[in-house]
Amino acid sequence: MKKAVILLSGGLDSATCLAYAKSQGFDCYALAFDYGQKHRVELHAACAIAAYFDAKIRVFKLAIDQWGGSALTDPALSIPHYDAKQTAIPVTYVPARNTIFLSIALGWAEVLQAKDLFIGVSAVDYSGYPDCRPEYIQAFQQLANLATQYGVEQGGIQLHTPLIHLSKAATIQLGIQLGVPYEKTISCYRANDLGQACGCCDSCSFRKKGFSEAGIVDPTGYV
Amino acid sequence: MKKAVILLSGGLDSATCLAYAKSQGFDCYALAFDYGQKHRVELHAACAIAAYFDAKIRVFKLAIDQWGGSALTDPALSIPHYDAKQTAIPVTYVPARNTIFLSIALGWAEVLQAKDLFIGVSAVDYSGYPDCRPEYIQAFQQLANLATQYGVEQGGIQLHTPLIHLSKAATIQLGIQLGVPYEKTISCYRANDLGQACGCCDSCSFRKKGFSEAGIVDPTGYV
């Protein structure tokens, strides 16, 4: 079986992405990050999802909260309610997060001799983070092959983004087909220690809308 | 003063790079990594060099040694003697290291509102690591501006590589002009706890050759 490294936050998208990678026959190595996120409880979900799909998982400690700069990590910044009129990049943006996460995944993949990386980004129902867009992904794909021994000597690394053009509803429909236990996933930026969701942050709003549009009962536990 | 983030290992190249950034008028924020390298003593040199040039410094803990895969971090792999006939990427290559380091630097730079990043890579007297080549640097430059709020909304981030086309001798000559205290730098992959160098690894060999070709007395303390 070919190995793949899958970024796994414990949320809806990355859980679906892991299920997809498994459905494609990969031996799955999930990578989660303990990066000082306020909703650190999501890591419990990541571990539960990895176990459900019989994937290996590493939780990598990464103290990027030491310099703040995002409402997801900085105690001085509040996580705002969803605002459909927002067009600027929101304060929940974490500087360079996906680049940092993918870079570390790339290093692990080389050591594992895995040529495939998966990330569950979507550029449809999302908060406008720059590092979720197709042009960003293409640039990282190019970089990955220039950066690594695997890229230079072994014919390349493939970055997979199976959800990038899917709406949240379409992602959920795919995940239901693949057997994703969404009740175990945590998307909320303000999830409490029990994993209960606030229902009104960006992440909750996209998730709620997704279940609604997909016509599937939302299994999320709200406070 | 404009802020810049400078990757600083404590070695000859990164010390010269920091001195160069300072000479260009930047307010310098050095970033060093405690990544499980066997020659962790280089971090003492990084702190000394930062202090010498009145730069701020952060030492970022990053446990990429947890999966080994490089002679610089893996107890099971020995650091080889320099071999001029070596053409393959050597076992001291650390998977995706510069990509990981630059990504974290990129995140810090955004939070600092710094638009300039410096890395002291050279593609002349070097070990053939893929992530030191001009084409890699160009790809990271492109990625940085697609990845970040700063790139998208604030006109871009500039990645500087002042040493990329310099031989080690030319780097040393530049550094001497800039007042780099090379006796405080540590390049050796097998440096002992006192910072004394082995004299025969790749890094020592390039350094020795550099001082010799530059006609400058080598201030390195060898065992």
pLDDT for B36-95, tens place per residue? 999 999 999 999 999 999 999 999 999 999 999 999 999 999 999 999 888 899 999 999
Residue A15 confidence class, pLDDT cut points 50, 70, 90:
very high
Strands (E), A23-111: 27-34, 56-61
- The range of the structural domain enclosing residue B188 comes to 3-214
| Cross-chain Cβ contact A136/B142 below 8 Å | no
Of residues B98, B104, B147, nearest to A130 (C-beta):
B147
Mean pLDDT of chain B: 96
User: Residue A132: what pLDDT?
Assistant: 96
Query: Is A32 within the bounds of a domain?
Result: yes
Chain A CB contacts of B106 under 8 Å are 95-96, 99-100
Size of interface A-B (CB pairs under 8 A): 143
Number of CB atoms found within 10 A of residue B219's CB: 11
pLDDT in tens, A24-64: 999 999 999 999 999 999 999 999 999 999 999 999 999 99
Dist. CA B146–CA A141, nearest whole Å: 13
Average pLDDT taken over every residue of chain A: 96
- Please report residues of A whose CB lies closer than 8 A to that of B63: 60-61
**Least confident window among A161-170, B141-150, B152-161:** B152-161
- Determine how many CB atoms are found less than 10 A away from the CB of residue B55: 20
In a domain, B219, yes or no: no
Residue B97 lies in a domain: yes
pLDDT of residue A127: 86
What ipTM was predicted for this assembly?
0.97
pLDDT tens, position by position, A178-204: 999 999 999 999 999 999 999 999 999
Residue A113 lies in a domain: yes
Q: What is the pTM of this model?
A: 0.97
Instruction: State the DSSP H helix or E strand holding residue A5, giving kind and residue range, or none if neither.
Output: strand A3-7
**Spatial distance between the Cα atoms of B120 and B125, rounded to a whole number of angstroms:** 12
Residues of A in contact with B93 (CB under 8 A): 149
Residue B200 pLDDT exceeds 90: yes
Inter-chain CB proximity A58 and B69 less than 8 Å: no
- Chain B residues near residue A153 by CB distance under 8 angstroms: 88-89
Best of A67, A86, A93 to disrupt the B interface by mutation (most B CBs within 10 Å)?
A67
Query: What residues of chain B lie within 8 A of the CB of A59, using their CB?
Result: none
The CATH number given to whatever domain includes residue B200 is: 3.40.50.620
Tens digit of each residue's pLDDT (9 = 90 or more) over B209-221: 999 999 999 999 9
Any B CB within 8 A of A66 CB: yes
Q: What confidence score (pLDDT) does residue B126 get?
A: 87
Residue A82 lies in a domain: yes
A100 pLDDT higher than 90: yes
Q: What percent of chain A has pLDDT over 70?
A: 100
- Residue at A91 is within a domain: yes
Is B153 in Cβ contact with A146 (below 8 Å)? no
Stretch B28-33: mean pLDDT, rounded? Answer: 98
Tokens of B210: 């550099």
Q: Which residues of A touch B108 (CB under 8 A)?
A: 67, 95
B131 near A CB under 8 A: yes
Whether B115 contacts chain A with CB within 8 A: no
Domain presence at residue A114: yes
Residue type, A184: K
Based on the structure, what is the number of domains in chain A? Answer: 1
Task: Please name the residues in contact with A95: beta carbons below 8 A apart, sequence gap of 6 or more.
Answer: A64, A69, A70, B106, B107, B108, B110, B111, B148, B149
Mean pLDDT of B17-42: 98
Mean pLDDT in residue range A117-123:
97
B133 within some domain: yes
**With an 8 Å Cβ cutoff, is A95 touching chain B?**
yes
Which residue type, as a one-letter code, is found at position A210?
A: G
Nearest CA in chain A to B131: A147
- Give how far A95 is from chain B: nearest CA, Å: 5
